[in-house]
Amino acid sequence: MLPLGFFRKKKETTVRDPNAPHLFGPYSLHELINRGGTAEIWTATDQDGQTYALRRLRGNGTVDKQARKQFIRGCEVLEKIHGHPFIIGFHQHGKFDGVDYTLLERVAGSNLKHLITRNDPILGEFVGNILIDMALALEHMHEKGFIHLDFKPENVLVTVAGDIRLVDFDLAQPLPKLPKRMPSNAGTPAYMAPEQIRHEPLDQRADIFSFGVTAYELLTFRKPFIGETPEAVLRKQLDEKHPITAPREINADIPIAVERIILKSLEHDPEKRFPNTHVLVAQLQQALYVK
């Protein structure tokens, strides 16, 4: 006869659904807004019922050191530049149970990438505002002494009222007085300036190139460099002699002055781009009849 207890019942374990609402420190996390490779964003409320967007590292604090370093840098940069109407609002950053987080303004809206993908009507209504406000956000960031280095539609939130918020400063770096090689050439290749892709010295004009790619896509619903493979796209992006299809050939409603601004922003040689975002903003405001 087998001894009692030989056959043991398998312990019942409860595996929490990572997408289910739960507590995180003093915050109640209600809805998963977005999840990336190293971080996720939740709609959160505090004990007083105030609503925020809470961004935290994934992996219970076990992400690699570089990912955590970038996350912390993004928090620190935002803490120094927030307070502008077109930069995401910042409340605090810290750590609970070994997990780094930052508490942000909760924006009712969607990112520009999603709006472009579905050709949302809000784009037609507010496209001029979005163009100028994106440039103003970059201008403010540069005035505060930082370059974004990952400017793209996914990092531009658009509110239901047509206002924008620039987000995700994890790759941001101090703005150099002279072009400087950055610690890495991390970013999103389709939106990166040639000098950034090649890991060459760069400055604020790399952000202006990324603005040009984003503006081109916003107005034409396609990127300026296209190809059947990512490698083919990259080759065109790095080829100084590769012609870019003029935006007005795709969308004739684009004002000629705006087309010129986009093409100048997309110059392969940074010396041929706008020297800084002050000039970019002024040109956009003039082209769109904003004083």
Does a structural domain hold residue 52?
yes
Residues 57 and 183 in one domain: no
Residue 9 confidence (pLDDT): 47
Residues 91 and 134 in one domain: no
Q: Mark which of 50, 75, 104 sits at the end of a domain.
A: 104
User: 237 pLDDT exceeds 90?
Assistant: no
User: 5 pLDDT exceeds 50?
Assistant: no
Residue 168 confidence (pLDDT): 94
Q: What is the mean pLDDT of the chain?
A: 90
Residues 82 and 122 in one domain: no
Task: Record the tokens describing residue 227, joined without a space.
Answer: 């190809």
Residue 211 confidence (pLDDT): 98
Cα dihedral across residues 166, 57, 80, 197: positive or negative:
negative
Give the structural domain span for 83.
22-104
Residues 58 and 154 in one domain: no
User: 20 pLDDT exceeds 90?
Assistant: no
Residue 163 confidence (pLDDT): 95
Query: Using alpha carbons only, how large is the chain's radius of gyration in Å?
Result: 22
User: 158 in helix, strand or coil?
Assistant: strand
Residue 214 confidence (pLDDT): 98
Task: Record the tokens describing residue 15, joined without a space.
Answer: 């595996």
Q: Mark which of 104, 133, 155 sits at the end of a domain.
A: 104
Least confident stretch, 84-88, 129-133, 285-289: 285-289
User: 145 pLDDT exceeds 70?
Assistant: yes
Mean pLDDT of 30-45: 90
Tell me the CA end-to-end span of the chain in Å, nearest whole number: 94
CATH of the domain at 269: 1.10.510.10
The sheet with strand 22-24 has its strands ordered as 22-24, 27-35, 39-45, 51-57, 99-104, 90-96
Residue 290 confidence (pLDDT): 64
Residue 18 confidence (pLDDT): 66
Residue 4 confidence (pLDDT): 46
Does a structural domain hold residue 10?
no
Q: Mark which of 41, 75, 104 sits at the end of a domain.
A: 104
Residues 159 and 201 in one domain: yes
Query: Could you give the angle at which helices 121-143 and 205-220 cross, rounded to 10 degrees?
Result: 180
Residue 16 confidence (pLDDT): 61
Binned at pLDDT 50, 70 and 90, residue 61 comes out as: low
Mean pLDDT of 175-190: 90
Does a structural domain hold residue 5?
no
* pTM confidence score: 0.89
Domain count, the chain: 2
Yes or no: say if 156 and 192 are a contact pair by the CB < 8 Å rule.
no
User: 134 pLDDT exceeds 80?
Assistant: yes
Smallest CA-to-CA distance from 56 within 82, 32, 79 is with 32
CATH of the domain at 51: 3.30.200.20
